[in-house]
Amino acid sequence: MAHKRAAAPEADPYFPAHGDTRYRVHRYELAVDYRPASNRLRGTARIGAVAGGAALREFALDLADFRLQRVVVDGRPAHYVHRAGRLRIRPAKAVEAGAAFTVEVHYTGNPQPVTSQWGGLGWEELTDGALVASQPVGAPSWYPCNDRPADKATYQISVTAPSVYTVVVGGRLLSRTTRASSTTWVYEQAAPTSSYLVTVSIGRYEAVQLSGGGSVLAPRRPVPQTGYVPARLRGQFAVDFGRQTRMMDFFEDVFGAYPFDGYAVVVADEELDVPVEAQGVATFGTNHLGGQRRSERLVAHELAHQWFGNSLSIGDWRHIWLNEGFAKYAEWLWSEHTGGPTAASHAATAHARLARLPQDLTPGDPGRRLMFDDRLYQRGGLAVHALRRALGEGAFFRMLKGWTAVHRHGVVTTSALAAHAARYTAHPLDAVFDLWVHRSALPPAGELED
The annotated binding site is made up of 301, 305, 324
Contact present, 277 and 310 (Cβ < 8 Å):
yes
Which residues partner with 392 through β-bridges? none
Query: Which sign does the torsion angle of CA 249, 254, 258, 262 carry?
Result: negative
Judged on CB neighbours under 10 Å (0-12, 13-18, 19+), 311 is: buried
**Whole-number Cα distances in Å, 61 to 25, 163, 169, 442:** 11, 32, 22, 40
Longest Cα–Cα distance of the chain, Å, equals 68
Contact present, 418 and 433 (Cβ < 8 Å):
yes
For residue 37, what is the DSSP state? T
Residues annotated in a binding site for Zn(2+): 301, 305, 324
Contact present, 255 and 265 (Cβ < 8 Å):
no
Which residues partner with 79 through β-bridges? 90
**Whole-number Cα distances in Å, 437 to 87, 130, 399, 447:** 37, 38, 18, 13
Exposed e or buried b for every residue in 11-47, given b needs 16+ CB within 10 A? ebebbeebbbebbbbeebbbbbbbebeeeebbbbbbb
Three-state SS for 58-122 is CEEEECCCCEEEEEEECCEECEEEEECCEEEEECCCCECCCCEEEEEEEEEECCCCECCCCCCEE
Ranges of H-type helices in 186-340: 234-240, 244-255, 296-304, 320-337
Which residues partner with 419 through β-bridges? none
Which residues partner with 267 through β-bridges? 284
How many Å apart are CA 302 and CA 300, to the nearest integer? 6
